């Protein structure tokens, strides 16, 4: 598994993977599925407002995407986390590895203290992923985000990055 910062030249591979996984992603997330939507999304990365990371296999197959957005410095040192994986790699622990490495990067290279993930209550795989990594459920937000044509309720999960270990626990 390789985790690295997303670059603009990743557009074709990410768009292709997202198109192939539309049914898998719905209704949880609507990632870019064409060049125009990728460019709109990537503008926040290019402007430095989002740190986006691409998880892939050595052959280039996309495992998933991590987005650390709304990064706040100063006394807060926090951000929001959005992520999604691809169906072909589900259940193999690869997104756990990607996310653990991404969290360590945000602590070590970016200097953040806290990361919050907002997850739809019915997205059991996503909830299980953050729980495995040590996120705590902090609250519930009705009609929090407009996704896939509807306002969706979300649970707020967060982790203090000091608690994230580089050691991967045995299964």
Distance CA 22, CA 75 (A): 39
| Banded pLDDT at 165 (limits 50, 70, 90) | confident
Q: What's this model's pTM, rounded to 2 decimal places?
A: 0.93
CB 51, CB 71: distance < 8 Å:
yes
- Residue 99 carries which DSSP code? H
pLDDT digits (tens, 9 = 90+) for 12-71: 999 999 999 999 999 999 999 999 999 999 999 999 889 999 999 999 999 999 999 999
pLDDT digits (tens, 9 = 90+) for 138-155: 999 999 999 889 999 999
Which residue ranges form the domains of the chain, and what is each CATH number?
Answer: 2-163 (3.40.630.30)
């Amino acid at each position: 598994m390789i985790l690295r910062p997303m670059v603009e030249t990743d557009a074709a591979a990410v768009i292709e993977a997202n198109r192939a996984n539309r049914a898998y992603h719905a209704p949880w997330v609507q990632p870019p599925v064409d060049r125009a939507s990728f460019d709109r999304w990537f503008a926040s990365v290019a402007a430095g407002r989002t740190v986006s990371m691409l998880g892939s296999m050595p052959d280039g197959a996309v495992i998933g995407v991590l987005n650390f957005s709304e990064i706040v410095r100063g006394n807060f040192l926090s951000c929001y986390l959005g992520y999604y994986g691809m169906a072909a790699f589900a259940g193999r622990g690869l997104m756990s590895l990607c996310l653990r490495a991404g969290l360590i990067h945000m602590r070590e290279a970016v200097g953040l203290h806290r990361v919050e993930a907002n997850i739809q209550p019915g997205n059991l795989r996503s909830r299980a992923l953050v729980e495995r990594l040590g996120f705590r459920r902090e609250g519930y937000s009705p009609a929090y985000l407009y996704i896939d044509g509807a306002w969706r309720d979300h649970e707020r999960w967060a982790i203090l990055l000091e608690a994230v270990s580089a050691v991967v626990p045995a299964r």
